[in-house]
Amino acid sequence: MGFFRHIKDVMRFMQLPREQRRLTFYSEGKNYWPHLEGLVKEVLATSEIQVCYISSGVDDPGLSLEHTNYLTFKIDEGFVRNWFFENIETDAMVMTMPDIEQFQVKRSKYTVHYVYVQHSLVSLHMIYRKGAFDHYDTIFCAGPHHIREIRAMEKKYNLQAKNLVEHGYGRLDSIIEEAKSRPKKVKVNEPLHVLIAPTWGPEGTVESGIAEKIVDQLINQGCIVTLRPHPQTIKFAKDKIDSILNKYSQHNMFNYEANIAGQDSLHESDMMISDWSGAALDYASGLGKPVVFVNVPRKVNNIDYEELSIEPFEVFIREKIGKIIDTIKIEQLPDFRKVQISKKIDQNVILDNVYNIEKSSTYGCKAIKELLNHK
């Protein structure tokens, strides 16, 4: 039944008058909507441009948005989506998905301008695969480090120069905006609330079994603990998650959060334990709260990243926004109830390296309009 529904949505898109499908956004699901939401809403609010929004997630909030100039399409990952993308006719395709043309998802056989929107503040040359952005025409850059990295890649590998936009980072903007709307709480003799939000990968904090040890210690210390694993961890290391849930799912000091698109745990917690996750940078810069980094091996998906001679942003910044704990010392985690966390970290350490704070949607929308005007 789902297969035919997806075919129906493909046909519905292709039968639209060409003028109504000039601008298309694609989201892999609900976790990517926060990175596209501001751009979508800004385009709709400031122009008469018809926006087409395609998502592979049935619970993507972007599919529920209503506007006279907004059309949505649900197409699952797989054969139908991949065929559709190779045959799509649109002027601009805005995505948060790296690696187009390298795996199943290819560029269209028609002339389409591909725009990449950052879904993290991390650098582009270590955590991402080599060539992850080579087949995009425009890169929306969150900060100067992204421009330096893309230009260095182009020079090193003799790539065609891309259109680089000083955009900013929509997820950070939404965190800052949400913080303004929440009442400031003064905690007195309340348990410390620790958010565990690591990245994913075979040597990650959850996958390696370290997260379970951390949860054990924090619960024993009387802390409130929220475990917020990466969706890929849930997918590929379910046994590790289940082991923690079997112990603590009924414990009144333990929370489990599978939706990383939400913000409640970011605002309600007092500090974060992470590793190489970009979520730690969002947390520190958006809320000024401290981070403890578990020193698991670097997340390296591009073994040639050192060829650029640029220190990755997530490496450079971690000691400036938090504390690093070696994995061999996990058994001696400090008693976090006694840690002074009332003093905020210097958010500007990161904010000084991000474009257009709280205005990224305005600048991104302007760039999209300019692209369409030149088509």
Q: Count the domains in the chain.
A: 2
Do both 152 and 212 map to the same domain?
no
pLDDT at 240 over 80: yes
The helix or strand, by DSSP H or E, that contains position 116, with its residue range, turns out to be strand 113-117
Q: What is the pLDDT of residue 342?
A: 46
Report how many helices (DSSP H) and strands (DSSP E) the chain contains, helices first. 13, 13
Q: What is the pLDDT of residue 184?
A: 78
In a domain, 176, yes or no: no
To the nearest whole percent, how much of the chain has pLDDT over 70? Answer: 94
Alpha-carbon gap, residue 9 to 71, rounded angstroms: 11
Do both 73 and 137 map to the same domain?
yes
Query: Where residue 306 falls among pLDDT bands split at 50, 70, 90?
Result: very high
Do both 61 and 80 map to the same domain?
yes
| CATH code for position 300 | 3.40.50.2000
Do both 142 and 221 map to the same domain?
no
182: phi then psi, degrees, rounded to nearest 5: -95, 135
Q: What is the pLDDT of residue 283?
A: 94
As beta bridge partners, residue 166 has 141
DSSP 74-105: E--TTHHHHHHHHH---SEEEE----TTTSS-
Task: Return the structure tokens found at 235.
Answer: 């997918």
Residue 20 structural domain: 2-169+356-373
In a domain, 180, yes or no: no
Q: Which residues contact 305 (CB under 8 A, 6 or more apart)?
A: 125, 126, 130, 312
Do both 122 and 256 map to the same domain?
no
Q: Find the length of the chain.
A: 375
**What is the separation of C-alpha 139 from the centre of its chain, rounded to a whole number of angstroms?**
15
Summarize the chain as % helix, strand, coil (round to 5): 40, 15, 45
The helix or strand, by DSSP H or E, that contains position 27, with its residue range, turns out to be strand 23-27
* pTM of the full structure: 0.94
Do both 121 and 192 map to the same domain?
no
Taking residue 106's Cβ as centre, other Cβ atoms within 10 Å add up to 15
Q: What is the pLDDT of residue 51?
A: 98
165: phi then psi, degrees, rounded to nearest 5: -110, 130
In a domain, 178, yes or no: no
- How far is CA 150 from each of CA 132, 250, 365, rounded to the nearest angstrom? 11, 47, 21
Do both 368 and 342 map to the same domain?
no
| CATH code for position 92 | 3.40.50
Which value, in Å, is the radius of gyration of the alpha carbons in the chain? 21
Q: Per residue in 321-363, pLDDT tens? A: 888 888 766 766 667 666 555 456 677 888 899 999 999 999 9
Q: Per residue in 268-284, pLDDT tens? A: 999 999 999 999 999 99
Do both 158 and 273 map to the same domain?
no
Q: What is the pLDDT of residue 185?
A: 75
In a domain, 179, yes or no: no
Q: Per residue in 103-125, pLDDT tens? A: 999 999 999 999 999 999 999 99
In a domain, 296, yes or no: yes
Do both 214 and 336 map to the same domain?
yes
CA dihedral 14, 18, 23, 29 (to 10 degrees): -10
Average pLDDT over residues 237-253: 95
Average pLDDT over residues 12-39: 96
In a domain, 177, yes or no: no
Q: Which residues contact 170 (CB under 8 A, 6 or more apart)?
A: 34, 35, 36, 37, 38, 39, 117, 360, 361, 364
Do both 222 and 322 map to the same domain?
yes
Query: Where residue 127 falls among pLDDT bands split at 50, 70, 90?
Result: very high
In a domain, 142, yes or no: yes
Do both 59 and 152 map to the same domain?
yes
In a domain, 71, yes or no: yes
Q: Residue 18's closest CA among 127, 111, 132?
A: 111
Do both 343 and 252 map to the same domain?
yes
